Amino acid sequence: MLSLRKSVWFGFHKVNHSDYPKKQGLYDPHYEHDACGMGFVVDVGGRKSHAIIEQAMQVLLNLEHRGATGSEKNTGDGAGILFQLPHRFLVRECARQKIKLPQPGEYAVGMVFLPTAEESGRQCKRQFAKIIREEGQSLFGWRRVPTDNSMLGASAKASQPVIEQVFIRRGQDVSDELDFERKLCIIRKRITKAAKRGIHERGTFYVSSLSCRTIVYKGMLIANQLSAFYPDLRDGDVESALALVHSRFSTNTFPSWARAHPYRYIAHNGEINTLRGNINWMRARESKFRSKFFGSELHKILPVIDSDTSDSGMFDNVLEVLTLTGRSLPHAMMMMIPEPWTADQSMSAEKKAFYEYHSCLMEPWDGPAAIAFTDGIRIGAMLDRNGLRPARYYVTKAGLVILASEVGVLDVPPEEILCKGRVQPGRMFLVDTESGRVVDDDELKRAVATQYPYAEWLRNNQLSLEEFPSPPDTPVQNSSTLLEQQHAFGYTSEELKLLITPMGAHGEEPVGSMGTDTPLAVLSERPQLLYNYFKQLFAQVTNPPVDAIREDLVMSTDTTIGPEANMLEPAPECARQIRLPSPILTNEQLNKLRHLGDAGQGAAGVKFKSITLPMLYEVNGGERSLEAALTELCRQSAAAIAGGYGVIILSDRGVDKDKAAIPALLAVSSIHHYLIREGTRTQVGFVVESGEPREVHHFALLLGYGAAAINPYLVFDILRDLTAQRHLGVDIDHTISNYLKAINKGIVKVISKMGISTIQSYCGAQVFEAVGLREDLVDRYFTWTPSRIGGVGLEVIAEESRLRHKQAFPEGSEPEQSLIEGGQYQWRRKGELHQFNPESIHKLQHACRTNNYETFKEFSALINDQSRQLHTLRGLMELTPLAGPIPIAEVERASEIVKRFKTGAMSYGSISREAHEALAIAMNRIGARSNTGEGGEDSERYTAEANGDSRNSSIKQVASGRFGVTSNYLVNANELQIKIAQGAKPGEGGQLPGHKVSAAIAKVRHSTPGVGLISPPPHHDIYSIEDLAQLIYDLKNANDRARISVKLVAEVGVGTVAAGVAKAHADVVLISGYDGGTGASPLSSIKHAGAPWELGLAETHQTLVLNNLRSRITIETDGQLKTGRDVVIAALLGAEEFGFATAPLVSLGCIMMRVCHLNTCPVGVATQDPELRARFSGDPSHVINFMNFVAQEVRELMAELGFRTINEMIGHTECLTMRLGIEQWKARGLDFSNIVHRPAMPDTVGRYCQIKQENEVEKSLDHTVLLERCKPALEHGKQITATFPIRNADRAVGTMLGSHITRAHGADGLPPDTIQLTFKGSAGQSFGAFVPRGLTLTLEGDANDYVGKGLSGGRILVYPPKDSTFQAHENVIIGNVAFYGATGGEAYISGIAGERFCVRNSGVLAVVEGVGDHGCEYMTGGCVVVLGPTGRNFAAGMSGGFAYVLDEKGDFIIRCNRAMVEVTGIDDASEIELVKNMIFRHAEYTGSRRATEILVSWDEMTSRFLRVLPNDYKRVLEGEKGSANFALPVVEMRVKSADVSG
Amino acid sequence: MGKPTGFMEHPRSVPMVRPAVERVTDWREFHGHSDDTELQNQGARCMDCGVPFCHTGNVLGGAASGCPINNLIPEWNDLVYRGRWREAFDRLRKTNDFPEFTGRVCPAPCEGSCVLGVNDNPVTIKRIEQAIIDRAFDAGWVMPQPPSGRTGKRVAIVGSGPAGLTAAAQLNQSGHCVTVFERADRIGGLLMYGIPNMKLEKSVVQRRTDLLAAEGIEFVVNTSVGRDYSVDRLMGEFDAIVLCGGAARPRDLLLDGRSLSGIHFAMDFLHLNTKSLLDSNQRDGRFLSAKDKDVIVIGSGDTGTDCVGTALRQGCRSLVQFEILSKPPETRAPDNPWPQWPKVYRLDYGQEEAAALFGRDPRTYSIMTKSFVGDKDGRLKSVRTVGIMWSKDENGQFQPVEIDGTEREWRTQMVLLALGFEGPETEGLLTQIGVALDDRGNVATDEDKMTSVSKVFAAGDMARGQSLVVWAIADGRHAARGADKFLRGGRT
């Protein structure tokens, strides 16, 4: 079965639909991501017309900016349309070929991509005909679809298939349309499989659609090419009542006609994060499949999932099978993307039961998604539980529904609009053309949920562990062997002290700082646990991580265990499983499972038993014995399944002198994959009973490779021991529950980093990358896990186990009385190696302080020379000159080289002002760049010092918290860096605790001293690649002189993400290593998330070269760079700029205390304590010396290699070889050929940045119209008033104009209302972003996402068109994430806003008439008045500011997240006055009817307002005033004569 | 961990409870004791560094930076802070065989490289170490731990100083049968007779020797191998031999008048004093007495200080101490940065006592002895000196240059030469075994501490040259590992 991997996973580049470059080097086509815009148009009454097609095409055109082009402007990533079979048109066309089509429903049409080679094409068609016949249908014939490729780009043209339509007549014995669809599915699956075997020439065979109801026209096109390419689409006879369109943004540029959307049932904007697990589980379930609809033919549609397609295609595959086997489309959608049901108190009981029941059938397909779906009769859309993609709709009075990723995609006169809405997170929106109506989520789901008595089925079948009686004999610890056990499993005193004790005492995973500088597991001399060879993957750019703390309503740790039944047919016994509240089991819980089915013990209703299999092997037998034990375990598991056991407990209890534990991860994964191959995996659940797992990463891995639950008995024993010695300060029950809490929280955090919300779907999802495991090992035991540089095999794993085992059972002597030290987190002489150790720190500091290059060389020798002790991958590389050396005088000067150097992003807040400014001054002096980090910058620093020094950081970071990101901040940068992820904790946010928020820090962050600040894990305006493109566009508008950089962290697949970044027009992409420093991060993230930069950088360079995008973007890298050799290797692997953070800090005095998070840095570097800051002894000259030393060492190496300039050197991996004769027992298995691979591309393909990214900003409304119009205001402060039309393609309107105001007039801008611009229509994304004081933007119409993002003092007014008739306050008027990170200004929105209104607002005063989920999330200041309903999770993470909510229905309280806020009425007169004034202004500015109504009955309305006030903020405000009287925001009143109160 | 803010809350505090004027009246230890709270506070000052320099044992600028035996200092500091003394003791003994010695006599390179010392006073590591081990003894935690089995191999240790005792302890723990030969009448070498009682109470040494004996080590005193016990016999009877004879050859000052009576090597002076003290509480008079003499100590290292302290206790009339080097700075010089051993001015116990009695630090710096002057009876009468300055010669080496007009004559009846040691005594044992010497005259050893003669190992000052007790312990462990590997057939 090993061949499975090759044929299934990487198969699609060999033969088939695409011309992707084959897997080579570190590039792997599998990691391609895409996202997009999608939409549909439907006539609710089902009236067919060509207008629907035309309108859908118009929608597609207006979504064009959400798609992308690659290095060729006229080659798009894909566009397509799905609609009903155009019967009239087809009849006409077929008639020409003498085919007479029968009535609709009696025939089907397939849209087929055929190979261009004629013989292959003929062969495919012959096959097709044969299969159609065999399946009892008949072939009418083929129609060549006319195409016009004249406008296509070269690569699209080159890969264009022959496109034909096949016509099939329904067979006699096919009863109805659905049955026909089943037959067609069988035919399609069979022909696809046959073609895969049959076509040997390069070429495409693909069936876009084959249906009696719908047809798909798609291709590798730009939106505006679709109708030109397919003349059919312009034919007036092509009619449909519905049409679904999609425009694709792929992260690379390789041609793929087949991967354009729509698929047969869906168009998808999003991606599936749990895909690997979903595929495996689906495959594993197939052996249990039975369907009355398919009967004996079922095998023909298996495997369900076509491994050659994308994640969306796979989703489509499963959806298809679920519907063809009898479920409705909405039902199948609800199964695959369930709402979060576990914690939702407002969900109806039957709906909860529906979801709970279906969770026994399949795990969620988890990830961001806006999916539009149709079966040709019903068309709908659904969002994932987080609502991570937008979907807005209009319903017109004429019965048309337009739904799309944006509003304004189709012009509809305002008076014709019946209502405007948005699809909400987890919700569905459906139009049924048969019944001719729009079905809302509630009705739809109620109907589905009540189809069967799910609650009853659950009640009678499902069991909860709590209900089981306790067996009497829960094992207790044997303290005499405790030490022995700890030795055997490799515990260190450091782990006890730094990991286990804090978790037991406080229930929190411990935090550390300053990254990691220990060797990878494969390089370490010390025996490593197998877990350490795996790195966690995480979400970046193409999907967002989830905030598992503030948005815990979407998270779930619930899981079930037990054999699964046939998922295709609903039946009570499918629920026959045991529900576990958490995957970590106490000894007692495990014991209950162990006694399942025992006489007298088994709970009633359990129909399966459990069996315990020993996870032990004869340690002295080494590899052979380990392998035999694994084989035996697999055999025993299969036998257990055959024997009717539903739960297998894998146990390593019983380690003794001869028997060691099989590494639990190895045991679990190998059985998991063995049973998947056997097709019996879902008939059994695994529980691991092991002494090995202790930290979060271990548990995450065990779950990720298929364990359902884990009992870490040895940790419990250790906790018991520590408690007995009173080291934890809590009793044993609390200790264990604290530990479980910490681990559960940690696991949830790990899964949320990948954007996964439920442990159930994480189970088996394998979202890990192996670093240092050999291919044969991975193929056999960790199938489908990426492992790219070879490494150790089973023999080393066995040896590592033996070494640990020997600690416990040393030959001829007693084991050590105390544990070994460890030294992973804190350096120890006899512990793990660290690059920064006493010697190297001393040498570096001494060199930099005395400006002594000789001493620096001693330092760099300690780092570079790894011939004795291995530290890094690059340490194993050898520099080999291609030609002879050159004189060093000919090499580029050091003063030029240092300009490529940067200091890392470290915020003022994480490090002291002294250290922060020393870095800035140093880098400015030498023409290099320092980085603000996340946290703003004091504007005083923008002015140069008298001596010429500048404290202004050249690079200004834009991170998820957007602290201090004002217009003024942005215009004062040379480079703007979007931090997607950070090496030490990719996928995580951060927190600055209140005690670190000093007055000075609060000032630059625009927050309140003493109030804690939260940086969310995702940027709430980047949930996808097209969102990133939008932010880049926004920032270019906010400062058109700055380079835009995107910071990513190395992980497998980062290359394709970087390609997407390049296509999103960023100027720089930064690839950070996993090992970089941090101010504070969970220890498991520091060690286990992300990959070394050598891998990420090389993959990025290779992928960009293959895409011909490399020449458009600068690559920067960082992560423990310390020496000139590091820089040279980075350049050879493809980098042209280089970041340093830890080393410059050390040069300034940092002594790697790793206590940055405690604020106790004793050398004044990473602390805000004034007393400690006084100890800072660094000087800019120290940093300058360091940079010069590195540059000098670079020059020396360049001279040896024969390179005169850095540019010459970039990407020359031929100069890198892996050192020969590496004898280290683990590292000798490594193979760097993938890292040093050079893609064979023509010389015309640039290998470093030579071409400036296209500046689309020049086409913006601001650049073309507004700037000129507003010149008098900019130059002379004259008042300007003007009106313009606006459409959704006009994005970031006002932003560039705002930046000019700031440039000319500074942070304070102009007097309010100096420029007043009114726009009519639908505004594109980021309307009014970063607009400063003096600019008032009025929008009459509606707006898309990100309105007023980063608003910096300006004023934004939005109201519906005057001639619209709908009720503004009942309709959605602006999109998601409005006023994100805004620091000041005012906003009045007459209508409902989408999700995350005013997220991380720190100063805006806003009035709105209703908001979606997560309103005022992370808010730190400002004031928000909501005059209508709010969504769920209002005020999550809100630490400052005020919100006032009109709670007419009295149910606000259940939708408010009160973890950090209090909700009260308002009785203070001045507060009442404030709210009234704001509403008054709202009425005045927007003419809001709602506001007027409220003001009219103000006295009775006041009691219905609730105040939301963060606890911290209240405490600080009260402290300030010494009373409960708060400093309320001041609203200047400018009462017009109109009397609104009467 | 530890207490994150401990170093900001508590100043360094080293108790010296007994005033100098009082303690010079007896020979009891001068070390003071702190109460538990104070010790915990001092432990809390430890910052639990990410990179704790204190236990590195690197040699920087010619001196140890951090503990040469890599004591797990942050760990036991933290445990002391938490009051977990027993575990602190377990961590301490993991690396250190004799904390009761180092806790008293070590100059504490750990403190010199303590990270807190970057800009503050370092943690009182040495006092905490002493407190842990003293408490362990008081509580009865230090028990003989004979090995569970014996290998049947016999090992001889020649010399019972700190290196010899360490090697003996370690090899015994490994199950070998260990015999220690000592030429003096008491076990302990330098610990017994080189370091005076007020610095290291001899009962403390005896207590450890007794423990080792109880663990099965055989001690043979009054036996000089090569003289009283033949090398042939030694080589014949033992499977491995570890030479730990120290660097017993003192550096002399061969100037005019050196043969006058009243000029003594420091080690002779100290040895006889302690022996007489132990034998008869000095009633036997068999020691070199400084009573009522004007004493000059030449050399200001630890041994010089011990001479000062001893002479004071004997009742000298006056005391001066010559140091050829210039006076060290009060704070680190630029070329002596942290974490190097700080070459700064210090007031050790002897000087503190002299200052208390005579009003000033006895040390005179930048001074060179030119000659000894005697009376007609051949008794020392005075010493002539000249002031010097240090300047670089053409090779960049610092050389002393005499300063005209600074000649001076000092009245004295007793001169103690504390100029350090030149290396091991080579006649006798070493010559007879035939081990090779290195270019500095020490016994040459390989990475396992084996000498040029198979199965013969060497450790401590004999192989390293004069050094610290803590290096002797480090070397003793190192040689024991080497010998154990050899005995188990790990090398041939």
- Quick check: A762 and A556 in contact, CB under 8 A? no
Q: What's the distance, Cα to Cα, between the start and end of chain B in Å?
A: 46
CB-hemisphere CA count at 13 Å for A1306? 5
User: What pLDDT does A749 receive?
Assistant: 94
- Inform me whether the C-beta atom of residue A483 falls under 8 Å from chain B C-beta atoms: no
Residues of chain A under the 70 pLDDT cut? 1-20, 35, 69, 198-203, 252-255, 475-479, 598-606, 812, 1520-1542
- Looking at residue B148, what DSSP letter applies? S
- What is the Cα A843 distance to its own chain's centre? 41
Query: What is the rounded CA–CA span in Å between residue A772 and residue A532?
Result: 10
Number of A/B CB contacts below 8 angstroms equals 112
For the whole model, what pTM was predicted? 0.93
Task: Please indicate whether, in this complex, the C-beta atoms of B115 and A1153 are within 8 angstroms of each other.
Answer: yes
CA distance A240 to A247: 20
- Rg, chain B, Cα only: 23
pLDDT confidence band for B231 (50 / 70 / 90): very high
**What whole-number distance in Å separates Cα of residue A960 and Cα of residue A634?**
46
Whether residues B120 and A1162 touch (CB distance < 8 A) is answered with yes
Question: Rounded to an integer, what distance in angstroms lies between the CA atom of residue A704 and that of residue A762?
Answer: 6
Query: Nearest Cα to A306, choosing from A206, A228, A409, A395?
Result: A206
Residues in chain A closer than 8 A to B340 (CB atoms) = 842
Rounded Cα distance, A1336 and A1344, in Å: 18
Tell me the shortest Cα–Cα distance from B336 to chain A, in angstroms: 10
Q: What integer pLDDT is reported at residue A1538 of this predicted model?
A: 37
Give the HSE-up count for residue A620: Cα atoms under 13 Å, Cβ half-sphere: 6
Angstrom distance (rounded) from CA B114 to CA B7: 12
Positive/negative CA dihedral, A257, A258, A260, A263: positive
- Chain A within 8 Å of B155 (Cβ-Cβ)? no
In Å, how far are A66, A72, A110, A117, A220 from A155, measured between CA atoms?
21, 8, 25, 17, 9
The residues pairing with A1463 across neighbouring beta strands, listed in sequence order, are A1508
pLDDT tens digit string along B111-156?
Answer: 999 999 999 999 999 999 999 999 999 999 999 999 988 999 999 9
Q: Are A1121 and A864 in contact (CB under 8 A)?
A: no
Alpha carbon separation from A104 to A90, A170, A329 (Å, rounded): 10, 10, 21
Contacts with B149 from chain A: Cβ below 8 Å: 812
Q: At what angle do helices A1180-1201 and A838-850 cross, to 10 degrees?
A: 100
Rounded to 5 degrees, φ, ψ at B129 are -60, -45
Residues 6 or more apart whose Cβ sits within 8 Å of residue A472: none
Establish if A1174 touches chain B: CB-CB under 8 angstroms: no
For B432, other C-beta atoms within 10 Å of its C-beta total 16
Quick check: B418 pLDDT over 50? Answer: yes
Chain B interface mutation, best of A492, A503, A516, A842, highest count of B Cβ atoms under 10 Å = A842
Helix A118-134 × helix A177-198 angle, to 10°: 140
Q: For residue B312, give the nearest of B323, B320, B301, B302 by alpha carbon.
A: B320
Q: What is the pLDDT of residues B446-489, one digit of tens each?
A: 999 999 999 999 999 999 999 999 999 999 999 999 999 999 88
Residues of chain A contacting residue B75, judged by C-beta atoms under 8 Å apart? 493, 497, 821
Whether chain A has a CB inside 8 Å of the CB on B337: the answer is: yes
Stated as kind and residue range, the H or E segment containing A740 is: helix A732-753
Q: Point out which residues pair with A1353 in neighbouring strands.
A: A1332
Q: Which residues pair with A492 in a beta bridge?
A: A820
Residue A1339's beta-bridge partner residues? A1319, A1358
Of B156, B297, B136, B276, which Cα lies nearest the Cα of B207? B136
User: Which helix H or strand E contains A1427, and what residues bound it?
Assistant: none
Q: Is B172 on the interface with A (CB under 8 A)?
A: no
Which of A36, A185, A1156, A1270 is labelled catalytic?
A: A36
Tell me which H or E stretch contains A155.
helix A154-158
Cβ contacts (< 8 Å) between A850 and chain B: which residues? 334
Residue type, A895: S
Can you say whether residue A233 is alpha, beta or left, with left for phi > 0 and alpha for psi between -120 and 50 degrees?
alpha
CB A303 within 8 A of CB A283: yes
DSSP string covering B226-262: TTTB-HHHHHHH-SEEEE-----EEPP---BTTTSBT
Q: Regarding beta strands B154-158 and A709-711, do their DSSP bridges make them parallel or antiparallel, or are they unpaired?
A: unpaired
* SS3 category, B303: helix
The closest alpha carbon to B69, from B109, B114, B31, belongs to B109
pLDDT (0 to 100) of residue A367: 87
* Residue B40 C-alpha from the chain's centroid: 27
Residues in chain A with CB shorter than 8 Å from the CB of B49 are 826, 1151-1154
Q: Which two tokens stand for residue B188?
A: 């302990």
Give the minimum alpha-carbon distance from A849 to chain B in angstroms, rounded to a whole number: 10
User: Which member of B47, B60, B119 has the closest CB to residue A1153?
Assistant: B47
Backbone angles phi, psi at A1286, to 5 degrees: -145, 150
**Rounded to whole angstroms, what are the CA distances from A595 to A609, A708, A1122?**
8, 17, 57
| pLDDT tens for each residue of B273-312 | 999 999 999 999 999 999 999 999 999 999 999 999 999 9
Residue of A nearest to B52 (CA): A827
Residues with Cβ within 8 Å of residue A1538, at least 6 apart in sequence: A1484
Task: Show the tokens assigned to A986.
Answer: 């990719």
Q: Enter the DSSP assignment of A984.
A: T
For position A856, what pLDDT does the model report?
A: 98
Residue A725: what pLDDT? 82
DSSP B152-200: --EEEEE--SHHHHHHHHHHHHTT-EEEEE-SSSSTTTIIIIIS-TTTS
d(CA A305, CA A365): 13
DSSP state letter for A1209: H
The pLDDT score that the predictor gives to residue A729 is 80
- Cα–Cα distances (Å) from A1017 to A106, A747, A1085, A1380, in that order, read 53, 15, 13, 14
As beta bridge partners, residue A594 has none
Q: Taking CA atoms, what residue in B is nearest to A838?
A: B53
- A471 and A582 in contact (C-beta within 8 Å)? no
Cis before A1242 (ω within 30): no
- Residue in this structure with the two tokens 């240059």, named with its chain if needed: B401
Catalytic residue list contains A36: yes
Q: Is residue B115 within 8 angstroms of chain A, CB to CB?
A: yes
Angle at Cα A563 formed by Cα A561 and Cα A569, nearest 5°? Answer: 115
Residue B459 near residue B472, CB atoms below 8 Å: yes
pLDDT at A1523: 43
For residue B295, what pLDDT is reported? Answer: 98
Q: Quick one: CA dihedral A827, A831, A836, A840, positive or negative?
A: positive
Residue found by looking up tokens 């500011």 in the block = A1441
Phi-psi region of A1027 (alpha: psi -120 to 50; beta: other; left: phi over 0): alpha
Give the integer Cα–Cα distance in Å for A581 and A591. Answer: 16
Show the tokens assigned to B209. 């020797």
Exposure string over A623-662, b if 16+ CB within 10 A, otherwise e: eebbbebbeebbebbbebbeeebbbbbbbbbebeeebbbb
What confidence score (pLDDT) does residue B113 get?
A: 95
Any idea what DSSP says for residue A154? H
**pLDDT, average across residues B215-219:** 97
Which residues of B are less than 8 Å from A818 in CB distance? 90-91, 94
Q: Could A838 and B70 be called an inter-chain contact, meaning their C-beta atoms sit closer than 8 Å?
A: no
In chain B, positions 33-52, which contact chain A (CB-CB < 8 Å)? 47-52
